[in-house]
Amino acid sequence: METTPSVDVPWTKRWTLGKNKYDRVEIAGAFGDLGTLIPFVVGYIAVMKVDPLGILFMFGLSEVLVGLYYKTPIPVQPMKAIGGAAIASGGAISAGMICGAGLFTGIFWFLAGTTKMINVATKLAAKPIIRGIVLGLGLLFITQGVTMMMTTPWLAGLGLLITYFLLTNPRIPAMFALLLLGAVAAYFMDPNLGKQLLSMRPSFRFPAFTFGRMSWNEFLAGMLVLGIPQLPLTIGNAVIAIRAENNELFPDRPVTDRMMAVSQGLINLASAPFGGIPMCHGAGGMAGHVRFGARTGGSLVVLGVIMMLLALFFSHSVGILFNAFPKAVLGVILFFAGTELAITTKDIGSKKEDVYVMLVVAGFAMWNMGAAFLVGIILCQALERRWIRL
């Protein structure tokens, strides 16, 4: 992956570059990020009691716009530090605080991108640091995937066999087989869920403007408790790593750190007032989309349209649908996304110092992306100035 940002493409011309595809492989690739999407959405709905209408509609709309604009499978994902803290609170964090966190991150990343402030940090991101962040994220996805697979080992084993057998099959995308496996397994493991799904009826609702329900205190609390701790993770995974991954896989459709920052800013500024959750891009999500076939932004458009339709017509019962999908199958999807991400670090070379920095950063990245970024910078500078020797 290239570590230097590409030349900015004018925003007015980006819409005319390249074409999205909507064939069966792109459609299959659309579901390559479900391993991270579904658990967080279910957590917001079941634990936080957040209305799924705003979550799914704004998520879907963001997916569609990102896919149409970038024309590569740059994902839209829930911000993990914010989502994890909010869900783990057991309801102690209010919907207003979630809105405040989304607005704060939107303002921060929009300003960071438009003022070029983001370039100051990313100039320090040497190749071993980026590789370390990517490797750490890949290993984290693999371990999380294995943990989820262990909930139903026999189902996970069957999913792994099917995926390996069909992974390079041009006629039958592996993702379709996994989705079918998950649906059949969910029905037989809990027949009542099947009856509930069959009883789902469409009921149209349109997202409401929820900005007025947030108090000033909730905005400040959302910023301090949720928004600020998310920033280091975002710069490592959702700015530097995603830019590097995109520019290696799709050099004809390059992006820059500034573009990623501005994009995340706009997404959250538009989403938060209508009940959306804080969102970002992420290298792991792109790896998942690509591993299962996505090569253009068409996969994001497909997923976005599905999410918007679910929000508009099935928001009252969508929690049943998401809960029905077996965790073991989601673990298989997450596992393959992690391997796809980790394997991209193979070009690190044989220089001992570079490999060492990558491994150290990867270890810290499995704990905290921001800490990994800082440790990598310090270690690189110490080695370059010969303060330490290996």
Q: How many domains is the chain built from?
A: 1
Task: Name the residue with tokens 């069959």.
Answer: 198
Q: Kindly state the average pLDDT of the residues 285-304.
A: 93
Are the C-beta atoms of residues 52 and 251 closer than 8 Å to each other? no
Task: Tell me if 216 is assigned to some domain.
Answer: yes
Strand ranges inside the chain, DSSP E? 77-78, 279-280
Task: Tell me if 6 is assigned to some domain.
Answer: no
Does residue 215 have a pLDDT over 50?
yes
Task: Tell me if 15 is assigned to some domain.
Answer: yes
Question: What pTM was computed for the model?
Answer: 0.81
Q: Could you give the percent of the chain with pLDDT greater than 70?
A: 94
Task: Tell me if 389 is assigned to some domain.
Answer: no
Task: Tell me if 83 is assigned to some domain.
Answer: yes
Integer angstrom CA distances of residue 326 from 55, 60, 79, 320 = 21, 22, 23, 12
Task: Tell me if 1 is assigned to some domain.
Answer: no
Task: Tell me if 151 is assigned to some domain.
Answer: yes
> How sure is the predictor about 299, in pLDDT bands with cuts at 50, 70 and 90?
very high
**Buried/exposed 156-173: b ≥16 CB within 10 Å, e otherwise:** bebbbebbeebeeeeeeb
Task: Tell me if 358 is assigned to some domain.
Answer: no
Residues with Cβ within 8 Å of residue 230, at least 6 apart in sequence:
79, 81, 82, 101, 105, 278
Does residue 5 have a pLDDT over 70?
no
pLDDT in tens, 346-381: 888 888 999 999 999 999 988 877 788 889 989 998
Tokens of 389: 């020797």
Q: 78: which DSSP letter?
A: E
Integer angstrom CA distances of residue 297 from 78, 254, 300 = 18, 13, 5
Q: Which domain holds residue 66?
A: 11-348
Are the C-beta atoms of residues 293 and 175 closer than 8 Å to each other? yes
